């Protein structure tokens, strides 16, 4: 959802030292169970080939050969590089996609220098650039060759320097394992935050899960809300203390929202909103330009995360919005439809009730007549381009309710907002504003109606929101 969350891919930074790191990888050969017919123990790359075989980096052919002199394609080397670091998580390859698609998706996320010719032999110079990129170095071919030679990650082929490295020669399978083994010696683990893809879950559901998995874990939703940015929210509101929204597009989970402690940083991690915050902050830096002053934003690989804070409760985490990066960057906010505006109204209603329930207050009932009054005020603000509780004639929400014929009331209240992106965004604006918060948590209120209306070309804001609270006599 463009404009919904901060976008951007940070540069790859890997902190790793030399020296002691050379001891971490140990011997190249660890009791190799299978020897290849064409890689005898006397072969110059024997140890490195056996290391690659034993560690799942690559394998031989069905005829028992390894073919060490055969050239390596770019896709093959890229896959070997990633498999050398099993802690790097990849997306599952989709049906009808090429086997190497997840590897190229990773390379694209991290701006690694790859071509659009995955099945052609990769040159030694291109490999040098990829290995330098793995270390966070964006270099030309000559610079990359000089860099990996200086770091001891490779040796010349025909002599010293760039020319002796033979950067235009195709890389052989034996050379590939040698390069990767030396890389693994200097960097035993992929420690860069940009390579780590957390497996964050809400009630056991994660980004990329199927809708079948969602139904299996959470059951059928109370409703399915359409939006104006390409996803459908599955709404789970039977228990307002554990209110959950699951965003679905094309049969897959692309978004999650929850304001309770069922969040986990990983399947085996301790649950909790603050635990999630601690785990995120221990690896990634929060954005220096969050969308709101009460939001902490993190952008681990493939994800966007907004932590919504409650500044009136010492800035504790109140809710979390997790979005798939690819989905977010490929969708824009389109004009609302009557269906998406109605969904926004109901989500604001649910979020308000969840806020109340978590603080031991009674939940509010929906009142459609009051909602019509709220919509009317939102529409009037948009059409006449003002932003006030009282309209230009000085009429208040109470006046508007009486004019609508709503029975006499014991109490009423109103919150208005404009310019927020959606229900979640608007809710946390009100939650963090003391006067609006008091209305949301007023014990005497028993009913609520919400009106969301898009602005006009002449309006100052894109969308106007009104909450009208009501208690009959």
* pLDDT band at residue 216 under the 50/70/90 scheme: very high
Q: Of 80, 69, 72, 81, whose CA–CA distance to 44 is shortest?
A: 69
Stated pTM of the model: 0.77
User: Per-residue pLDDT for 246 more than 80?
Assistant: yes
The whole-number pLDDT of residue 152 equals: 86
Query: 49-65: b or e for each residue (b if 16 or more CB lie within 10 Å)?
Result: bbbbbebebbebeeeee
> Helix, strand, or coil here: 326?
helix
| CA 363 to each of CA 18, 140, 442: distance values in angstroms, whole numbers, following the listed order | 60, 62, 11
Cα–Cα–Cα angle for 142, 143, 146, rounded to 5 degrees: 85
Mean pLDDT of 169-198: 89
Mean pLDDT of 71-77: 96
The whole-number pLDDT of residue 4 equals: 33
Cβ atoms 153, 179 nearer than 8 A: yes
- Mean model confidence pLDDT for the chain: 90
Number of H helices, E strands in the chain: 16, 14
* pLDDT band at residue 153 under the 50/70/90 scheme: confident
User: Per-residue pLDDT for 262 more than 60?
Assistant: yes
User: Per-residue pLDDT for 214 more than 90?
Assistant: yes
Instruction: Name the one residue in this structure whose structure tokens are 């034996």.
Output: 174
Q: Which has more confidence, 37 or 16?
A: 37
The whole-number pLDDT of residue 34 equals: 59
Highest mean pLDDT among 4-8, 90-94, 193-197, 233-237: 233-237
Query: 452-466: b or e for each residue (b if 16 or more CB lie within 10 Å)?
Result: bbbbeeebebbbbbb
């Amino acid at each position: 959802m463009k404009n919904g969350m901060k976008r951007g891919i940070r540069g790859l930074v890997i902190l790793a030292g030399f020296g002691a790191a050379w001891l971490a990888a140990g011997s190249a050969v660890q009791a190799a169970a299978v020897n290849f017919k064409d890689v005898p123990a006397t072969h110059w790359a024997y140890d490195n080939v056996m290391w690659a075989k034993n560690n799942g980096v690559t394998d031989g052919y069905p005829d028992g050969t390894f073919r060490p002199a055969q050239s390596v394609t770019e896709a093959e080397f890229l896959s070997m590089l990633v498999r050398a670091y099993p802690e790097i998580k990849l997306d599952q390859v989709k049906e009808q996609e090429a086997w190497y698609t997840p590897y190229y998706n990773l390379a694209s996320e991290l701006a690694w220098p790859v071509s659009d010719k995955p099945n052609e032999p990769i040159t030694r110079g291109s490999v040098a650039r990829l290995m330098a990129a793995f270390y966070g170095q964006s270099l030309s071919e000559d610079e990359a060759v000089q860099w990996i030679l200086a770091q001891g990650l490779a040796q010349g082929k025909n002599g010293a320097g760039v020319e002796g490295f033979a950067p235009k020669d195709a890389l052989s399978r034996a050379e590939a394992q040698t390069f990767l083994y030396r890389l693994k010696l200097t960097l035993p683990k992929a420690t860069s935050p940009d390579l780590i893809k957390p497996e964050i879950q809400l009630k056991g559901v994660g980004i990329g899960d199927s809708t079948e998995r969602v139904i299996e874990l959470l059951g059928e939703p109370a409703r399915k809300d359409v939006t104006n940015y390409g996803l459908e929210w599955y709404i789970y509101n039977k228990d307002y203390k554990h209110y959950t929204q699951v965003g679905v597009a094309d049969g897959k989970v692309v978004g999650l929202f929850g304001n309770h402690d069922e969040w986990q940083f990983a399947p085996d991690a301790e649950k909790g909103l603050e635990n999630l915050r601690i785990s995120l902050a221990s690896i990634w830096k929060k954005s220096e330009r969050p969308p709101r002053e009460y939001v902490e934003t993190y952008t681990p690989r493939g994800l966007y995360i907004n932590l919504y804070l409650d500044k009136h409760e010492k800035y504790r985490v109140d809710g979390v919005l997790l979005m798939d990066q690819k989905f977010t960057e490929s969708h824009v906010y389109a004009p609302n439809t009557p269906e998406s505006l109605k969904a926004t109204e109901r989500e604001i209603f649910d979020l308000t009730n969840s806020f109340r329930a978590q603080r031991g207050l009674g939940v509010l009932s929906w009142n459609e007549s009051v909602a019509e009054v709220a919509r009317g005020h939102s529409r009037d603000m948009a059409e006449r381009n003002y932003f006030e509780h009282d309209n230009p004639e000085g009429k208040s929400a109470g006046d508007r309710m009486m004019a609508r014929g709503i029975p006499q009331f014991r109490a009423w209240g109103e919150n208005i907002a404009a310019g927020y992106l959606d229900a979640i965004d608007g809710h946390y604006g009100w939650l963090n504003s003391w006067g609006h918060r008091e209305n949301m948590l007023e014990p005497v209120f028993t009913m609520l109606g919400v009106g969301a209306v898009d602005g006009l070309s002449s309006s100052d804001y894109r969308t106007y929101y009104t909450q009208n609270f009501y208690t009959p006599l």
